[in-house]
Amino acid sequence: MMLKSVVTKQTDGENVYYTVHWSNLREADRYSIVTSVPGMSGIFELYFMDDKKKLNLLRVQRAWFGGLRNTIRAVSDPTLEQDLKVKKILEDSKCFYRYSVLESFKDLSDVFFFFSKTYFPERSNIESSGRFLKIFVKEISAEKIITI
């Protein structure tokens, strides 16, 4: 089976260029997650829909141990959430996710580093793999949701 939702990479020696091919955006339902998300490593985003029907990024996260299926399932379940603010969002809002498979831990570290620095520059303490001078990321999304 050929996966379409994968991260691809090119380098020029000192810089790296990743392309994140996102899966279709799907509603976060525990049963559909278990049956449709691969149990492989990768990166994902979780969104919630506000009262104005706007999607808001709730988290961007990497999944290594346990894979995308288990991690997305766990972080979208309000019964497992410890943070009361996030728990309320998960309980009261429609949530959606998208993912991209990435099986190299070093590449996953670089992509997650890029997203963390882009989304949360003031609180990001994530390290890159240290292999490249600069990291560039391009997103491809069927819904045309590009967040960077």
pLDDT one-digit tens code per residue, 80-105: 999 999 999 999 999 999 999 999 99
Q: Which residue has the tokens 């991260």?
A: 7
Distance CA 40, CA 102 (A): 8
Q: What is the DSSP letter of 24?
A: P
What's the pTM value of the predicted model, to 2 decimals? 0.91
Digit-coded pLDDT (tens) for 12-48: 989 999 999 999 999 999 888 999 999 999 999 999 9
Domain ranges of the chain: 7-140
Digit-coded pLDDT (tens) for 38-47: 999 999 999 9
pLDDT averaged over every residue in the chain? 92
